[in-house]
Amino acid sequence: MNGCHVRKGVRDYFPLLLLFFFVSSLSLIGCEVKKEETQKQTERRQEKVIKTQEIVVAKASTAPTLDGKGTDEAWKAAQEYIIAVKGYSGDRIKMKAVYTDTDIFFLFTWSDYSHSIRQAGSWERVHVGGEFGKAPTEAQEKWEPFGFEDMLSLVWNIDSPDFEQEDLPQKVHLKGFKTSQGKMDRWLWAAGTTDPVHKLLDQYIDTQGVHDDSGKSFLIPNTTDEDNPKTRIDERKYPRFMPRVDLVQQKIPKLFIVKGQKPILLYYRSEVEPFDLAFVDREATLPAYIFEENPSGSIIDINVGSTHLEQEETWTVEVQRKLTTATPEEDIQFDDRSKTFAFTIGVFDNTDTDGSFSEVQKLTFAQ
């Protein structure tokens, strides 16, 4: 009889034993994950991050392909530099550089958690001044710009003494900067605005501020403050363009970015028409910029390829430009490869203000 009581007790405690082993196994798995994460953190801490250094551009026999992967044979000849950046958008960026007889190439890799690829300032419809329980009227509708995107900024010194200022890197990548004298060359990559057409926005900075380089830009701002009775919105600022009605019906824009299951639609100039509230898709998000089909000039000198790896949470961006351009008054010229070239880097993670910025770096060419 006592034996029966013992066996019954084991049966009674069997579910608890299963629960104990299950929880124990989860704890062991958690330990393994924690161990793996700690190892990654240790490897990251062991990386040699330097604030200011000399970046040597290696000579490559063949040009790398701009696919945003950074795995070409050409990159194997280049040393990888890990540059410290300070701010709210990360603490380091990895960089390589190579050149051929005609071109210079850069490879950048940095951590990015947001993967923000919608154009900064994209338009969305909102309601203002409506009453609860009543449908909003057109007079209560408003289109407002929203959002930010991931960006990479490089600023090169052409001939400005301001590059010697200690606090320059914290100012030069932001809107509204101007030099006290001389010029700088700015290269701006934006994940939703320049990357879809594989370009960097080439700009220069002088005593009057930041300007786009000369030529026909690939970007057409989708905003206006002109009075237009077709909007019937009591606002002075609203989208300038919307997708053509027939294009909306076909749903075939030439350009789009996919994030998750939702495509972000982008349009060339031939795919849009003037904004009209009577025909616009009120649930749509309209881009901040429309793309020009046939851009030209100095503003399109710089080409890029990029990838964002979601598991690693990193951007990889490859950049190409001719060593020399036809507009030395706007662009840094890599014509004398015995010289040292000064530059600084800015990284922006879903922001246009709270970036992370490097100290001034020096770039030289391997002979």
Looking at the predicted structure, is the pLDDT value of residue 127 above 70?
no
Q: Are 223 and 213 members of one domain?
A: no
Q: How would residue 224 be classed by pLDDT, with cut points 50, 70 and 90?
A: confident
174 & 312 share domain? yes
Could you tell me if 270 and 325 lie in one domain?
no
Q: Give the residue among 96, 105, 113 at the shortest CA–CA distance from 150.
A: 113
Whether residues 99 and 126 fall in one domain: no
On whether both 185 and 308 belong to a single domain, the answer is yes
| Helix/strand/coil percentages in the chain, nearest 5 | 20, 35, 45
Could you read off the pLDDT of 132-169 as tens digits, one per residue?
Answer: 555 555 445 678 888 899 999 999 999 999 999 999 99
Whether the per-residue pLDDT at 18 is higher than 90: the answer is no
Range of the domain at 272: 122-147+219-291
Integer CA distances (angstroms), 256 to 109, 158, 217, in order: 23, 36, 20
* Residue 8, strand partner residues: none
CB 83 within 8 A of CB 97: no
Average pLDDT over the chain, rounded to an integer: 85
Same domain, 129 and 162: no
pLDDT for 133 equals 54
Residue 78's domain is classified under what CATH number?
A: 2.60.40.1190
Helices (H) and strands (E) in the chain, counts: 2, 21
Alpha helix (H) residue ranges in the chain: 2-46, 245-250
Q: Which residue has the higher pLDDT, 263 or 103?
A: 103
Based on its alpha-carbon atoms, the radius of gyration of the chain, rounded to whole angstroms, reads 27
Q: What is the pLDDT of residue 318?
A: 98
Span 189-207, pLDDT tens digits:
999 999 999 999 999 999 9
Domain boundary among 232, 263, 291: 291
H or E element, residue 338: none
Amino acid identity of residue 84, one-letter, is A
29 and 165 inside one domain: no
Query: Are residues 86 and 200 located together in one domain of the fold?
Result: yes
Pair (103, 128) in one structural domain? no
Domain boundary among 234, 258, 291: 291
Sign of CA dihedral 280, 281, 287, 291: negative
| Residue 335 host element (H or E) | none
- Kindly state the tokens that stand for 141: 């509708």
Predicted confidence band of residue 3 (pLDDT cuts 50, 70, 90) = very low
Q: Which residue has the higher pLDDT, 360 or 249?
A: 360
- For residues 62 and 353, give the distance between their C-alpha atoms in angstroms, rounded to a whole number: 38
If one counts the domains in the chain, the total is: 3
Residues 104, 166, single domain; the answer is: yes
Q: Do 264 and 194 share a domain, yes or no?
A: no
Domain end, chosen from 238, 264, 291, is at 291
> Distance between CA atoms of 1 and 293, rounded to whole angstroms?
92
Residue 213 burial (C-beta neighbours within 10 Å; 0-12, 13-18, 19+)? buried
Average confidence (pLDDT) over 66-89: 94
Among 17-21, 196-200, 253-257, which stretch is predicted with the lowest mean pLDDT? Answer: 17-21
The pLDDT-based confidence of 6 (bands split at 50, 70, 90) is very low
pLDDT (mean) for 63-85: 95
Label residue 1 by pLDDT band (50, 70, 90): very low
Residues 8 and 140 in one domain: no
Residues of 262-301 as b/e, b for ≥16 C-beta within 10 angstroms?
eebbbbbeebbeebebeebeeeebbbbbbbbeebebbbbb
Give the β-pairing of 92-99 and 103-111: antiparallel
